[in-house]
C-alpha cells in the first residue's frame, strides 16, 4: 500500500482550535457552561436560525427532535430508504414506526412523489435527508406536509452551509426543525456533537429540557414553590444529551472557518467534476442545480462496475493499494436485518437499490490539495482499466 494515504474525510484542526480548547480547560467550566450558549448563538448566525440547541451528537439531535415533536407509539414517520441508520432509528427511539420512501436513483434524495403515496392515517412526520450536502426540494416537502399536517424534521447532518434559493439549510423556513452533526468528517467539528435548529420558541425550550434529564429550574416553570436556588423539577423523561464547554470551544473556533472550508470543498468538487468528465463509466452524484448550492460533505460518484469488469470490492481494494481510501454511503436501511424482521421489503425501493449498487464516496476534505484530486482520478482510471 502507498505510504501517503488519502482518507475519504478528515478534520482540519489549527493551532487556534487547540488554543481555544486549552483556554476552555483553564476556565471555570468544562461541561455545560457559557461557551455552549455562545456556540449556539454563533450557529444561529451562521444558519440564519432563530434558535439552536446543542447536543452530544447528531443521533441525539434526531432523537430529541422526534421526542419534542410528540411522536410516539402508533405514529408513522416517512424516512428515505437510502440514509444512515440514525434517520430511521430515531423514530423507533420514541416508539414510532419508520415508513421507508424511495429515493432518486441518481441523487439519492427523497422521492417526494413516492412519499405522497406512502402517507397513511398514522403518518405524523417526514424526515428528508440532504444527502451528500445537496439540498432536498424543501418547498415540495413542505407542500406535502401542509397537505397532510405533517411535522418536517430536516436531517441536515451533511448540509451545514448548503443553500436552496434564498434559504439557508437550517433556517427552518420550510421545516419545524433541522438537525446537524459535528463529527470529525463533517464541515466543522466539536469532536462529537450535534445541534437542532428551529424557528419555534416552544420547541427550542422543550429541546433544552429534553437534553438535560427533563429537568427545569426556571422559577416561572416550576409547579411547586422553590425552597432555594438548588431546587429543580423533572417534568418529562429526558436524557443526558448535553454538549460540553470544551467541545463548544472547539466548535466556536471551527465555525469562524466555515466559509473557507465550504469554499475549498466546492473548489475540490469542481475539480473532480472537470477531471471526471473524461472518465467513462463514472458520474458525480451530488451535482447541484441552478437553485441549490451543495455543502459537499461527500463527493460521491456512480461507477459502472459492470462495464469495467470489476466489482466494487475490487475497485475499493485497488484504490486502497494506491493509497486512496473510499467509502459507501449508504446501504439501504430496509435491507438491514432489524427492519426486515419488522416487515421491511428490501426489494421495494428500486431507486435506493440502484443508487447503492453503483455509489462510491471519494476523498473530500478541505486540507486536500488540487494535486490530491488529480491523484484520486488517476488512481480511479488505473483501477477501472
DSSP letter for each residue of 178-197 = EEEE--TTSSS--SS-EEEE
Pairing of strands 76-80, 97-101: parallel
Catalytic residue, from 186, 200, 202, 257: name it: 186
**Distance between the two ends of the chain, CA-based, in angstroms?**
19
CA–CA gap between residue 225 and residue 199 (Å, rounded): 31
Nine-digit cell string for 314: 475490487
User: Is the omega angle on the peptide bond into residue 330 within 30 degrees of 0, that is, cis?
Assistant: yes
H and E: helices and strands count for the chain? 14, 15
Unique residue bearing C-alpha cell 440514525: 86
User: Is the omega angle on the peptide bond into residue 182 within 30 degrees of 0, that is, cis?
Assistant: no
Unique residue bearing C-alpha cell 439501504: 332
For residue 348, how many C-alpha atoms fall within 13 Å in the half-sphere facing its CB?
A: 16
Nine-digit cell string for 29: 467550566
CA–CA gap between residue 174 and residue 333 (Å, rounded): 25
Nine-digit cell string for 261: 472550508
Backbone angles phi, psi at 175, to 5 degrees: -140, 170
Nine-digit cell string for 176: 419545524
CA–CA gap between residue 229 and residue 98 (Å, rounded): 43
Q: Residue 12, exposed/middle/buried by CB under 10 A (0-12, 13-18, 19+)?
A: middle
CA–CA gap between residue 235 and residue 310 (Å, rounded): 58
Active site residue 186: yes
| Residues with catalytic function | 186
Amino acid at each position: 500500500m502507498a505510504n501517503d494515504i488519502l482518507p475519504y474525510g478528515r478534520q482540519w484542526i489549527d493551532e487556534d482550535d487547540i488554543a481555544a480548547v486549552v483556554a476552555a480547560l483553564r476556565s471555570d467550566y468544562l461541561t455545560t457552561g457559557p461557551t455552549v450558549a455562545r456556540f449556539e448563538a454563533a450557529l444561529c448566525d451562521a444558519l440564519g436560525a432563530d434558535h439552536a440547541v446543542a447536543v452530544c451528537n447528531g443521533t441525539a439531535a434526531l432523537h430529541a427532535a422526534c421526542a419534542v415533536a410528540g411522536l410516539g407509539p402508533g405514529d408513522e414517520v416517512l424516512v428515505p430508504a437510502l440514509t444512515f441508520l440514525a434517520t430511521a432509528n430515531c423514530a423507533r427511539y420514541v416508539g414510532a414506526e419508520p415508513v421507508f420512501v424511495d429515493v432518486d436513483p441518481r441523487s439519492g434524495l427523497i422521492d417526494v412523489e413516492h412519499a405522497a403515496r406512502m402517507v397513511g392515517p398514522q403518518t405524523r412526520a417526514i424526515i428528508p435527508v440532504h444527502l451528500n450536502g445537496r439540498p432536498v426540494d424543501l418547498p415540495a416537502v413542505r407542500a406535502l406536509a401542509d397537505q397532510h399536517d405533517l411535522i418536517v424534521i430536516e436531517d441536515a447532518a451533511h448540509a451545514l452551509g448548503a443553500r436552496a434559493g434564498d434559504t439557508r439549510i437550517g433556517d427552518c423556513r420550510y421545516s419545524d426543525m433541522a438537525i446537524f452533526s459535528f463529527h470529525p468528517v463533517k464541515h466543522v467539528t466539536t469532536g462529537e456533537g450535534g445541534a437542532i435548529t428551529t424557528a419555534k420558541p416552544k420547541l427550542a425550550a422543550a429541546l433544552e429540557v429534553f437534553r438535560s434529564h427533563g429537568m427545569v429550574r426556571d422559577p416561572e416553570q416550576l409547579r411547586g414553590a422553590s425552597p432555594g436556588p438548588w431546587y429543580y423539577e423533572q417534568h418529562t423523561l429526558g436524557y443526558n444529551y448535553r454538549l460540553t464547554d470544551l467541545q463548544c470551544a472547539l466548535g466556536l473556533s471551527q465555525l469562524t472557518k466555515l466559509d473557507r472550508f465550504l469554499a475549498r470543498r466546492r473548489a475540490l468538487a469542481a475539480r473532480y467534476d472537470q477531471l471526471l468528465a473524461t472518465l467513462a463509466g463514472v458520474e458525480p452524484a451530488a451535482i447541484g442545480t441552478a437553485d441549490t448550492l451543495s455543502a459537499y460533505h461527500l463527493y460521491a460518484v456512480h461507477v459502472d462496475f459492470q462495464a469495467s469488469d470489476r466489482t466494487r470490492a475490487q475497485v475499493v481494494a485497488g484504490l486502497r493499494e494506491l493509497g486512496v481510501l473510499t467509502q459507501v454511503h449508504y446501504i439501504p436501511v430496509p435491507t438491514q436485518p432489524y427492519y426486515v424482521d419488522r416487515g421491511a421489503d428490501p426489494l421495494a425501493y428500486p431507486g435506493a437499490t440502484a443508487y447503492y449498487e453503483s455509489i462510491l464516496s471519494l476523498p473530500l476534505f478541505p486540507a486536500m490539495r488540487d494535486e490530491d484530486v488529480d491523484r484520486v482520478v488517476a488512481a480511479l482510471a488505473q483501477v477501472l482499466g
